[in-house]
Structure 1
Amino acid sequence: MHILVIGAGIIGMTSAYALARDGHAVTVVDGAAQAGVGTSRANGAQLSYSFVAPLADAGVLRKLPAWLAQPNSPLRLRLRADPAQWRWALGFLRACRRDTADRTTAELLQLGLHSRRLMHDLVAREGLRFDFASSGKLLVYQDRQAYDAARALMDYQASLGCEQQALDRAACLALEPALADIAERIVGGIYTPSEDAGDCLALCGALQGRLAQASGVRFHFGTRVERLRTEGGRIVAAQTSAGALEADGYVIANGVGAQALCREVGVDPLIYPLKGYSLTYTLTDASRAPRTSLSDVHNKVVYARLGNRLRVAGMVDIGARSGDVDTRRIAGLKVQVRRYLPRLNEAGPPEEWAGLRPARPDSKPLIGATPYRNLWINAGHGALGFTLAAGSAGVLADRIAHRPSAVADRLFML
């Protein structure tokens, strides 16, 4: 079958890879000039397969009033006269229940562990270079109550197949000496040795090269898909800025853009952009930078080592539809870095970036069939796109082929 994949971010590129391996003829179309330069460009760089708890959680509700009152809080809300924002927000509030969050965590964990297996298979099979490292991940806690809650969650996730360790302050410092300057603030940590890190943009580019050379995948860059033409319960063409593209099947995998494309054909995936920010520091011989991926749980900031660079990411802006960098938010993120790693001794000013994460209210992506018999979707991964990309692509390929998958049939469907 000839399948047109709409979107060349990490979800679209891994989807194209999985489908090409299944023997399909694949064409990828994207409005950008190359693969991965949208939301995949400078994300948090952590492959956190075991840390997939949804944003919607009862604990978040308790923190919302304080967060919304602080200009540099981890989460900022800009209320708009936008029905899409209100539909999404109502769905988010409905998902902020303990039983719902626990069920979602268990479901996302299935997909996360499957994604880890497939990502490692990809790395071993293709030997792609994207600063991939299995460095583990350490969640660092500065609040005793939050740490105790995390240990309880660790016990729950252990019952689902996660291997994690609770560390005291001394063990955290032994694992990651770069934390020495904030030693007195640390009450403990949760360490998962099986987590990875990598450069998402580099992986997208490497996949583009490998697919074009080895699998004959065709790419149409600088080509924006404007709408899908339908006839008799199926898609007959994708109308693009460069004319119509026809295929036997179509996959919507273009992140935030999936919402408008789906709505044009009467499907509402409830995808809304959540803006996030990152900094990328070039390190020097004098840099006291972490080797292990870190999460500053208190401030909701993550740190990932990429060779001689350090990626720092965090913050959520709800209601911001532009990818422009907000200088005040970036300044706040720089302050967090300076307080956390005062001896970073970087080579110069960091690269600043902002991107729109395609989020659904309950944090669960949509993977699989739509009401149209030759149209599938793989979108809505929020901040977990890189983490869940390989597993989501595998599930998509399984569902298109009508074969059993490692993820239960009922999960992540429209």
Structure 2
Amino acid sequence: MKIVVLGSGVIGVTSAWYLAQAGHEVTVIDRQPAAALETSFANAGEISPGYSAPWAAPGIPMKALKWMFMEHAPLIVNPKPDLQKIRWMAQMLGNCTSAAYAVNKGRMVRLAEYSRDCLTDLRAQTGIAFDERQQGTLQLFRTQKQVDAAGKDIDVLRQGGVPFEVLDTQGCLAVEPGLADAAGKIAGGLRLPKDETGDCFKFTQGLAARAAAAGVTFRHGVSITGLNRIGDRITSVTTSEGDITADSFVLALGSYSPKLVADLAIRLPVYPVKGYSITVPVTDASRAPVSTVMDETHKIAITRLGDRIRVGGMAEIAGFDLSLSDKRKRTLQHSVEDLFGGAGDQSQATFWAGLRPMTPDGTPIVGRSPVANLFLNTGHGTLGWTMAAGSGRLLADIVSNRATEIESRDLGFDRYQKPAKAARPALHPVPAR
């Protein structure tokens, strides 16, 4: 089958790889001159299945109000009116219940754990290298309240069979010796020993090269302007180089996915949430992180990538604005210096921002769309790198009409469709007695 994948970020490229491995003729289209030059370019670098959790959680509305007054706030909301933003935020607030959180986290962990297994197999199959480390993730708590609040996450991890370790201050220092000077700021931690780290950009570029060698066609520098539909099928995609036909199409454009399908009367609940990162060269390895440390207070990940430290995080709800804020940069610098002071040369830091495609419930949308030959792989939020391999494999199985290796029905677009109303029974006059 001839398949066109729209988008060459980590989600699009992994989709293309697995589709090609399934025997399909695959073409990838992207406006950028190469793969992974937008959201996949400089993310936090963590592959954290055990840390997969929706942002919509009990207590988040109250926390959001408090964050508004923090100097180094993890969440920033642009007050400019935006109907799509208001609709998305209302849906997100509707998921801030204990019941919804448990359901959403459970399916996110399921997909993320599967994705880690797929990545392990892919690494063995291809020999791809991307500054990878398999040394776990440490979620760092600065207060006892944060330690106590981790209980609900631990319950989900236990139910899912995900290995974890609850650590005191000394336990945190044992796995991350570079934290020694910050010991007085640490109340405890939750370590996920099976989690990994790696450079998403290096991985995606490496996999794209292998996919091209396996027969995938990459058409870079080509803008996508619309989908052409006849009946219940897409016939072609309109691009800056003309219409391109295929048997099926895969939408993997991240935050830009909703706009492309709006004319098809498909309302994708995906909204861009801007995240920031800095990349700092290591100057003192003894003070640097071993793997990834998640600073729970500032919602920032500090990751070791070879001879670099990647510091990423924050959520700015400001539409498609990609401007760089010095204030956000100072927050990233504060977090890493506060915990790993002197580990890197801040004067050489490179600053970046990208748009994370977020769904209101945190789970990506992977599977069929309401149009017969249009498939969706989008909405991964902060976990695109964590879930990429599994999402790509899952998508390829669905497109190929093969049984999926994990439950996939609750990962699709159907969960956002309102159930059809049952027809009212006809009213018949009651005969007079």
Q: TM tier, shorter chain?
A: over 0.9
The worse-fitting range, judged by mean Cα deviation, of 19-28 and 255-264 is 255-264
State the distance in 1 between where 2:351 and 2:408 align: 40
State the distance in 2 between where 1:251 and 1:156 align: 32
SS at match of 2:191: strand
Say whether 1:280 aligns with 2:275. no
The residue number in structure 2 matching 1:302 is 301
Q: Is the 8 A contact 1:252 1:258 kept in 2?
A: yes
State the distance in 2 between where 1:149 and 1:404 align: 38
The worse-fitting range, judged by mean Cα deviation, of 290-299 and 152-161 is 152-161
**Higher gyration radius (CA):** 2
Q: Is the 8 A contact 1:283 1:347 kept in 2?
A: no
Q: Is the 8 A contact 2:281 2:344 kept in 1?
A: no
Q: Is the 8 A contact 1:151 1:166 kept in 2?
A: no
Distance 1:83 1:334, change over 3 A: same
Q: CA RMSD in A?
A: 1.3
Say whether 1:330 aligns with 2:329. yes
Say whether 1:69 aligns with 2:69. yes
State the distance in 2 between where 1:51 and 1:336 align: 19
Q: Deviations over 1:292-333 (max 9, x none)?
A: 211111111101111111110011001242222112211222
Letter in 1 for 2:36: G
Letter in 1 for 2:176: E
The residue number in structure 2 matching 1:259 is 258
State the distance in 1 between where 2:152 and 2:85 align: 33
Say whether 1:120 aligns with 2:94. no
Q: Is the 8 A contact 1:197 1:305 kept in 2?
A: yes
Deviation at 1:153, TM superposition (A): 2.3
Say whether 1:190 aligns with 2:181. no
The residue number in structure 2 matching 1:103 is 103
The worse-fitting range, judged by mean Cα deviation, of 47-56 and 396-405 is 396-405
State the distance in 1 between where 2:335 and 2:303 align: 15
State the distance in 2 between where 1:139 and 1:81 align: 35
State the distance in 2 between where 1:279 and 1:287 align: 20
State the distance in 1 between where 2:79 and 2:233 align: 37
Q: Is the 8 A contact 2:32 2:222 kept in 1?
A: yes
Say whether 1:82 aligns with 2:82. yes
Deviation at 1:132, TM superposition (A): 1.2
The residue number in structure 2 matching 1:211 is 211
Say whether 1:176 aligns with 2:176. yes
SS at match of 1:411: helix
SS at match of 2:290: coil
Say whether 1:362 aligns with 2:361. yes
The worse-fitting range, judged by mean Cα deviation, of 56-65 and 145-154 is 145-154
State the distance in 2 between where 1:80 and 1:347 align: 33
Deviation at 1:224, TM superposition (A): 1.1
Deviation at 1:79, TM superposition (A): 2.1
Letter in 2 for 1:270: P
Deviation at 1:152, TM superposition (A): 4.5
Deviation at 1:345, TM superposition (A): 3.9
Say whether 1:250 aligns with 2:249. yes
SS at match of 2:410: coil
Q: Deviations over 1:155-202 (max 9, x none)?
A: 331121110011111111111110111101111111111001110111
The residue number in structure 2 matching 1:222 is 221
State the distance in 2 between where 1:236 and 1:71 align: 51
Letter in 1 for 2:321: S
Deviation at 1:286, TM superposition (A): 5.8
Any residues of structure 2 matched to 1:49-60 within 5 Å, and which?
A: 49-60=49-60
Letter in 1 for 2:93: L
Deviation at 1:107, TM superposition (A): 0.7
Q: Is the 8 A contact 2:300 2:311 kept in 1?
A: yes
SS at match of 1:163: coil
The worse-fitting range, judged by mean Cα deviation, of 320-329 and 80-89 is 320-329
Distance 1:156 1:212, change over 3 A: closer
Q: Is the 8 A contact 2:106 2:156 kept in 1?
A: no
State the distance in 1 between where 2:222 and 2:145 align: 51
Deviation at 1:352, TM superposition (A): 0.5
Q: Is the 8 A contact 1:287 1:346 kept in 2?
A: no
Say whether 1:385 aligns with 2:374. no
Q: Is the 8 A contact 1:279 1:351 kept in 2?
A: yes
The residue number in structure 1 matching 2:292 is 293
Letter in 2 for 1:363: G
TM-score by length of 1: 0.97
In structure 1, list runs of 5 or more residues that go unmatched: none
Q: Deviations over 1:52-106 (max 9, x none)?
A: 1100011212201111233531000012221111110110111111110111001
Letter in 1 for 2:323: D
State the distance in 2 between where 1:409 and 1:130 align: 29
Q: Is the 8 A contact 2:333 2:346 kept in 1?
A: no
Q: Is the 8 A contact 1:292 1:304 kept in 2?
A: yes
The residue number in structure 1 matching 2:419 is none
The residue number in structure 2 matching 1:399 is 398
State the distance in 2 between where 1:92 and 1:155 align: 22
State the distance in 2 between where 1:191 and 1:7 align: 34
In structure 2, list runs of 5 or more residues that go unmatched: 414-433
State the distance in 1 between where 2:176 and 2:132 align: 19
Deviation at 1:348, TM superposition (A): 4.1
State the distance in 1 between where 2:284 and 2:340 align: 15
Distance 1:71 1:187, change over 3 A: closer
State the distance in 2 between where 1:216 and 1:100 align: 42
Q: Is the 8 A contact 2:322 2:353 kept in 1?
A: yes
Deviation at 1:403, TM superposition (A): 2.1
The residue number in structure 1 matching 2:427 is none
